[in-house]
Structure 1
């Protein structure tokens, strides 16, 4: 049991005077905890908001008394004091900057990215993000999960706290609200964000429309894919080549010396790999490397007659695909032969 849970249970069963003292202590602890989540950035309290919440919280009082009638609280609970504590929590102030650090801490598995302090356990982060994903946007939560697919929490002040797990936390603030109490522009921003970047929870399923992925380091990832592709061609691993093609990898990628997988497979005499590249991936049959050599030149040089015959058979059959008015060929456009 956490300190917050044990203190709350103590708060429920105490006298009004003891409850006020315990509530004050608990509020200080909560502020200290949130201060760590915000990376020591701004955190304040609005007494005017607290008074307003208390004076206009009829629905919260009604829900509280209904829950009390249904025996949802321990015996002897001081409901008014508990609601006061809730109203105090609703009156905590943050800026967009400090709140963004808070949600970045959630995105970072509970470790504050500014201070490096381990504030939350991974289990607590998982449970928090699950709640945000399922009910963080009031009655719009289902549609938000469908269209945006990210855990978020909105407030009637016009703020939306958005978490992109393992990437970043975002806070946007725009006061005009829709009929459900969410920021109109904030929701529009979130929808536009996932329309450009592959942040939606299900954007990365295989064969899905490719979006920008800022999590990838372009040069490093490209180098790794080229190495993996050429090594599979070198070792004659047709299964690996098929996996690469199905994941929409460009099967005509070139290394530093402008050598392609077809060059390597032809030089090593791997007939099945050459056949797969020509039949299923429809790659260019005569790309030239740094020295002007084609796959046919490689097959002839190393005496792989079966590969030479196969290349001769497919010579002249290559037709570049047209994309944006230009002649290009990508494996993504040539997968029809594999499906």
Structure 2
């Protein structure tokens, strides 16, 4: 009983289907299909310049997701640990902004895409690294972390999760120090900063644990599993903005165009994808394309927004051939029926025309099986009755739960003009045939205008 009482909100949401993805089973079946589609890809090369990465099989492929409600789904090799590598960069930046605020952090780091390879050692015209998603910016960002507080996603980052540090040449480090020393806060110990930088890149996660990190970003900084606030809304907003513009190496612009979601990739084959206010998704497959992104991961992301209206600029009301898993079927139907019947009750033909043009079912019924035509006939709204019959071609004689038709209602309340028009349409009415293409649709729309 204690476990029930402590999770009563979650359980209530489940029973009422109030989750952000109401039909989670149907949604995850689509995710599994997208996973299988991408699994068939065979291109790309596993990164071999870091020994810890070269050992991975190119056949490994995993997808995990966690919604802002804490619903989770995994498919594939989701329990195999891998290094975060560059996927840690947005998390570091978020913690830095969380600790210091936007203004302080960006006094050391820019906000613009660089147009250069992620490992190029260049500064912008203000002598700052271009953004926190390139190596130079991520190293400066590391120097801003309050390491002693250790609040950096403490549930998932443990001492034993840190793999042996990647070996970088002394020349690289010397170059960094000489070029970038001016970019750091005063008194920065470069050796300890670089040491921490390499350790953070080498943190091990699984797809499952990383998806909770992504979901925390999707949930405005609140961990959907614990309910604990990990990051400020400001830190999350900034992080998602930079992931959107700079998160996918030299593919960032194309990814923003085609996928339209904040994401960050790493050379270990991971992609951290955020659907704001909905879920976090992590894809992992070691083979990389020429730009350093997971071949299967990119394909999965492209297929995801092809199937669902998750792209940042998909219109949530008017979209063709895309699913919206956020839509609550029951709630939407109830609202739709209420709006339709109320417009019929008040005689609001313009509202009814709007509903018809947006493809609403004009024959839908309430809990008593009454239609808009029943209501309009009972109220004597002849213009509404005419619109429903002439423009919408509704059935003129549907029966409610008591067996009453709209004509029965009109006769009961003495609306003889309504009775006359209903009689005319009843005599000539025949059930509509199935639509036969676009021409019929266009004619139907023309009659509404």
Q: One fold, TM greater than 0.5?
A: yes
Distance 2:434 2:352 in 1: 24
**SS at 2:151 equivalent:** helix
> Which residue does 2:308 correspond to in 1?
197
Matches within 5 A, 1:291-306: 291-306=402-417
> Which residue does 2:333 correspond to in 1?
222
Structure 2, unaligned runs of 5 or more:
1-96, 109-141
- How far does residue 74 in structure 1 lie from its aligned partner after superposition? 5.7
Distance 2:367 2:335 in 1: 12
Alignment equivalent of 1:34, drawn from 153, 163, 166: 153
- How far does residue 261 in structure 1 lie from its aligned partner after superposition? 1.2
Q: Any conservation in 2 of the 1:174–1:186 contact (CA below 8 Å)?
A: yes
Pick closer, same or farther for the CA change 1:218–1:87 going to 2, 3 Å.
same
Matches within 5 A, 1:219-258: 219-258=330-369
Matched, 1:51 2:166: yes
Q: Any conservation in 2 of the 1:42–1:95 contact (CA below 8 Å)?
A: no
- How far does residue 213 in structure 1 lie from its aligned partner after superposition? 2.5
Q: Any conservation in 2 of the 1:7–1:26 contact (CA below 8 Å)?
A: no
> Which residue does 1:288 correspond to in 2?
399
Alignment equivalent of 2:294, drawn from 183, 191, 196: 183
Q: Any conservation in 1 of the 2:395–2:429 contact (CA below 8 Å)?
A: no
Distance 2:379 2:170 in 1: 79
Distance 2:281 2:267 in 1: 17
**Scaled by the length of structure 2, what TM-score is found?**
0.60
- How far does residue 112 in structure 1 lie from its aligned partner after superposition? 0.9
Distance 1:121 1:24 in 2: 16
| Deviations 1:251-297 (CA, angstroms, capped at 9, x unpaired) | 22112222211221121112232233234433333333223333233
| Deviations 1:218-241 (CA, angstroms, capped at 9, x unpaired) | 223312221222122112223432
Q: Any conservation in 1 of the 2:211–2:272 contact (CA below 8 Å)?
A: yes
**Cα RMSD (Å) of the superposition?**
3.7
- How far does residue 306 in structure 1 lie from its aligned partner after superposition? 3.0
User: By percentage of residues, which structure has more helix?
Assistant: 1
- How far does residue 78 in structure 1 lie from its aligned partner after superposition? 5.8
Matched, 1:337 2:441: no
Q: Any conservation in 2 of the 1:285–1:295 contact (CA below 8 Å)?
A: yes
Aligned residue-pair number: 314
**Scaled by the length of structure 1, what TM-score is found?**
0.77
| Deviations 1:183-233 (CA, angstroms, capped at 9, x unpaired) | 111122222222332222233344321533222332233122212221221
> Which residue does 2:226 correspond to in 1?
115
